[in-house]
């Protein structure tokens, strides 16, 4: 039997970020429907590490503080179901995992739901939650931190350093993404532009359509730019529910762009805060 003690609001925020909602047509669907809570006893944190449903376009690690004594994974077969449970709890909550259940106890209430590491990670997947978690962790290990920068290590051991990196304000980034909802739009695509020759270093973020309102947001670069690209500028597009994700992120964000074009994979974007790491593949032409 394994136990976690955690602030309910912290767990709610962790799970809201983990499920990665995005627009599909006119509806919002979760790109991650189940996850494992991964403990770090030394740091006293729990994390989720999850690929989205397609297994390639995005990978995230989200973390928060918790009191833990064992390194057992806690398997959540339905994030939405657990969030529904947590609405009726508050303050400090104790989570206990048995062979086939999760028990949530706060003050004078306890709620129990069934769980299994062998449940399907999502309805159409042949993989179990345990297998998908292992796959996600293996993929995440490709990003290795050196100082304040991450390198990507390929299967043959080659290291890819960011072609560009900078730190910006996370609230400014959310406000830029939010403009994709002007006049009821559900604009999933956001575009990043940068020109290293500009007199004032700024990231430009474009969102929305000309029909309903296309917006360009200028965001100040807050630290010196690291630049290793052979080009003087770039224009790159991404999607994947970034507007929904950044509703829950208000920290400083370090952006790192990785050139995977020789592998036929465009330019990937790694977004790093003090608690979160999100990788998003670019939209290919």
Q: Tell how strand 74-76 and strand 143-146 pair up.
A: unpaired
Residue 180 pLDDT greater than 90, yes or no: no
pLDDT at 80: 96
What is the tens place of the pLDDT at every residue in 152-171? 999 888 999 999 999 999 99
Q: Provide the β-strand partners of residue 137.
A: none
Classify residue 74 by its DSSP letter: E
Number of neighbouring beta carbons within 10 Å of residue 40:
13
Residues 6 or more apart in contact with residue 74 via CB below 8 angstroms: 2, 4, 36, 37, 39, 46, 95, 97, 102
pLDDT at 148: 83
Residues 6 or more apart in contact with residue 3 via CB below 8 angstroms: 68, 69, 70, 94, 95, 96, 97
Q: How far is CA 171 from CA 58, 158, 193, 248, 274, in A?
A: 21, 35, 18, 10, 14
pLDDT at 23: 81
**Residue 204 host element (H or E):** strand 202-207
What is the tens place of the pLDDT at every residue in 213-259? 999 999 999 877 788 888 899 999 999 899 899 999 989 999 999 99
φ/ψ of 227, rounded to 5, equals: -130, 125
Residue 118 pLDDT greater than 80, yes or no: yes
Average pLDDT over residues 101-121: 95
Q: Is the dihedral of CA 251, 279, 237, 146 positive or negative?
A: positive
| Cα 168 to chain centroid, rounded | 17
pLDDT at 11: 98
pLDDT at 224: 77
Average pLDDT over residues 135-155: 93
Nearest Cα residue to 4 out of 123, 112, 109, 93 = 93
What is the tens place of the pLDDT at every residue in 185-220? 888 899 999 999 887 889 999 999 888 899 999 999
What is the tens place of the pLDDT at every residue in 21-72? 998 777 889 999 999 999 999 999 999 999 999 999 999 999 999 999 999 9
When pLDDT is cut at 50, 70 and 90, the band that residue 285 belongs to is: low
| pTM score of the predicted model | 0.94
pLDDT at 185: 86
Q: How far is CA 172 from CA 169, 232, 254, in A?
A: 5, 24, 13
Residue 116 pLDDT greater than 70, yes or no: yes
Residue 112 pLDDT greater than 70, yes or no: yes
């Amino acid at each position: 039997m394994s136990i976690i003690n955690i602030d309910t609001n912290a767990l709610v925020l962790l799970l809201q970020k983990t499920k990665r909602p995005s627009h599909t047509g006119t509806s919002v669907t979760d790109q991650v429907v189940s996850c494992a809570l991964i403990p770090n006893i030394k740091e006293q944190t729990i994390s989720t590490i999850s690929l989205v449903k397609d297994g390639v376009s995005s990978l995230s690690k989200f973390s928060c503080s918790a009191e833990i004594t064992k390194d057992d994974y806690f398997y959540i077969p339905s994030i939405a179901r657990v969030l529904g449970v947590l609405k009726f709890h508050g303050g400090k909550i104790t989570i206990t995992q048995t062979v086939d259940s999760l028990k949530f106890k706060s003050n004078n209430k306890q709620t129990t739901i069934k769980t299994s590491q062998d449940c399907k990670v999502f309805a159409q997947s042949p993989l179990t939650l345990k297998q998908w978690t292992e796959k996600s962790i293996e993929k995440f290990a490709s990003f290795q931190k050196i100082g304040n920068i991450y390198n990507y290590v390929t299967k043959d051991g080659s290291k890819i350093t960011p072609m560009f990196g900078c730190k910006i304000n996370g609230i400014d980034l959310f406000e830029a993404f939010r403009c994709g909802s002007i006049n009821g739009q559900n604009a999933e695509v956001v575009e990043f532009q940068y020109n290293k020759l500009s007199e004032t270093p700024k990231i430009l973020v474009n969102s929305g359509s000309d029909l309903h309102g296309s917006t360009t947001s200028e965001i100040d670069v807050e630290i010196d730019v690291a630049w290793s690209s052979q080009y003087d500028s770039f224009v790159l597009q991404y999607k994947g529910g970034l507007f929904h994700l950044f509703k829950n992120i208000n920290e400083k964000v370090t952006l790192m762009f990785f050139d995977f074009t020789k592998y036929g994979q465009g330019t990937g974007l790694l977004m790093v805060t003090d608690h979160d790491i999100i990788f998003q593949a670019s939209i290919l032409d």
